[in-house]
Amino acid sequence: MEEMERDFVTFTDDDGNDFELDVIDYFEYEGQEYAVLMDLSEECEHGEDEECDCGHDVYIMKIVVNGDMEEFVPADEDKFDALTAIVEARMSGECCCDDDCDCEDEHEHDCGCGCCHHE
């Protein structure tokens, strides 16, 4: 089996300890790019055919570009509920559009992906 390349970010906690979070998804909301990160360093104790319910913490970070560097900063608190709904939909496989949204028609239901904004 071919091993996938890891996309991870190293952070430093309040005590000066470094830790890594794996980037598991990227998405855009209101013209801003966000990343979904998890600590996947702890191994799950389930078989390959079983669904993972190990309770890894999920982090939503806004990506801010400064020159050639990407900086991961906490998401704005006022957008947290909307971002959480987007991430939950994407992780559960309910997102119907993956940036190719069919919800643009005002008669379509919002699929929960965050890209469907009906006035």
Cβ atoms of residues 38 and 22 within 8 Å:
yes
Interval 20-51: pLDDT, tens: 999 999 999 999 999 999 987 766 554 454 44
**What is the predicted pLDDT for the residue at 30?**
94
* pLDDT > 70 in the chain, percent: 61
pLDDT less than 70: residues of the chain: 1-6, 42-55, 94-119
